[in-house]
Structure 1
């Protein structure tokens, strides 16, 4: 995670959606057909949700987790899936030696300039190495559009100039960026995620608050946060009507690619 947000990631909040967030990582992992010699890097490992699947898939390799959040690394260490954990921001990280695989699940969307970033990561691989990436492609979804629109409407002094992260590209763009470096497989999947009812508030807000809303909420004081979340919840109630059981069906688009160098 590259941004310096004033509040560190909350592992407990993030873990509540471990199953929903883990499925795209497993789908990506299944598309890696082989690996060469070298370490396996879990780039943006977070709380270690993918550590055990990586260790199972790449038995015999050293599994290294890299993340900018000390709180997340503490929880990742508790999985005992990693041979080493590195506290580093991705935009400055360099591997100690060329790895066999760089695996990144739902983190590079926080880093800008993918035209430069992805070839740079590919260039760090060992000969015959693999870069495997999954990112949310949810920028234009109602959940995210509402978040931006309400922020601009309520706090134009802080959000009128935008600054929203739109760096995640379509799969074809990643194919174009990386095709000269090896064999690229790129695709997208929209998961229809059932979110269960919550004690207070809209289920989608509980999902996005731990990720997409964080940069917005970090600019607001406590009273402003409460007002903003109330307005956001009202918009979500229209965009994502609740099911009779209090849950909601939440379409979520994910972008994937695997580069074999």
Structure 2
């Protein structure tokens, strides 16, 4: 889930919207066709919510989780003390074992060079194994478009120019072309979830504060962070009208890839 060298991820903040974040994990795991799962890895495991669902899906398998954030790994170890969790970067992960399933949930949007990393992950699979990937597909959605707009048009613009940012995904055609001659099957689909956010624009800001907004906020001082968030929330309120009770229905598209060796 996280993949930054400077560890400012917050497991507590990330877990506030765990039910919403877990929905695509259930859908991803349900499309895995590999039988006789003996060992599985959760690459970018975050605070262990995806690892827990992986363990529930394959209760007899040995599960290994890894994440680049020490804060996330600490939370994951508390959540699942019986599971092995390692602090590691997906781009340089040195575990030498082979796996029947590798789960990568909401991490690859932070990692460049998918042309190298995805084949490397495939090479970690046993024959018949599955690489199961989910990435948020909201780079062009108002939530993320407005992050970039506010960052580029405030007094902090120069400071944020060099801030590390999440990456847009490649096209489904690109991923299919990369993978299809290396595996037995590739399944790619896109789902848009509609999350009712009862606290409206403020709730949307809270939800993305632990993910997409984090690289921007990390660069700013406390006062600048507050000003940035206030401006961002005002812009969000314009784009996402609330229901009569204040609830906002937030569209959240996600891209899924399941490749079986």
- 1:143–1:112: structure 2 CA closer, same or farther, 3 Å change rule? same
Structure 2 residues not aligned, in runs of 5+: none
SS at match of 1:235: helix
* 2:178 paired with 1:185: no
- Tell me the equivalent position of 1:121: 121
Q: State the secondary structure of the residue aligned to 2:180.
A: helix
The answer to whether the 8 A contact 1:42-1:51 is kept is: yes
Partner of 2:177: 176
1:105 and 2:98 aligned:
no
Give 1:160 deviation, angstroms: 4.7
The residue correspondences of 1:197-208 to structure 2 (distance < 5 A) are 197=199, 202-208=202-208
Structure-2 residue corresponding to 1:195: 197
Q: Are the structure 2 counterparts of residues 116 and 209 from structure 1 closer, same or farther at C-alpha, using a change threshold of 3 Å?
A: same
Q: Deviations over 1:60-119 (max 9, x none)?
A: 210011111222112212333753111111111122311111101111111112122211
In structure 2, distance between residues paired with 1:166 and 1:70: 22
RMSD: 1.9
Contact 2:179/2:259 (<8 A) preserved: yes
2:225 alignment partner in structure 1: 225
Any idea what the Cα deviations from partners look like across 1:32-86, whole Å, max 9, x if unmatched?
0124565200111111112232112223210011111222112212333753111
- Listed as ranges, the gaps of 5+ residues in structure 1 are none
* Contact 2:22 2:50 (8 Å CA) reproduced: yes
**TM-score, length-normalised on structure 2?**
0.92
TM-score by length of 1: 0.92
Say how many residue pairs are matched: 258
* Number of the residue aligned with 1:46: 46
Give 1:151 shift. Answer: 0.3
> Which residue in 1 is equivalent to 2:57?
57
Structure 1 residues 81 and 28: CA distance shift in structure 2, 3 A: farther
Change (3 A) 1:34 1:242: same
CA contact (8 A) 1:112 1:165 kept: no
State whether structure 2 residue 229 is matched by structure 1 residue 211: no
Worse-superposed segment, 230-239 or 50-59: 50-59
Return 188-197 or 82-91, whichever deviates more.
82-91
CA distance change for structure 1 residues 6 and 87 in 2, over 3 Å: closer, same or farther? closer
Give the drift of 1:172: 2.6
Matched, 1:77 2:74: no
Aligned to 1:10: 10
Deviation at 1:10, TM superposition (A): 1.3
Change (3 A) 1:149 1:106: same
CA distance in 2, matches of 1:149, 1:122: 37
Alignment partners' CA distance in 2, 1:65 and 1:99: 12
After alignment, is 78-87 or 241-250 more displaced?
78-87
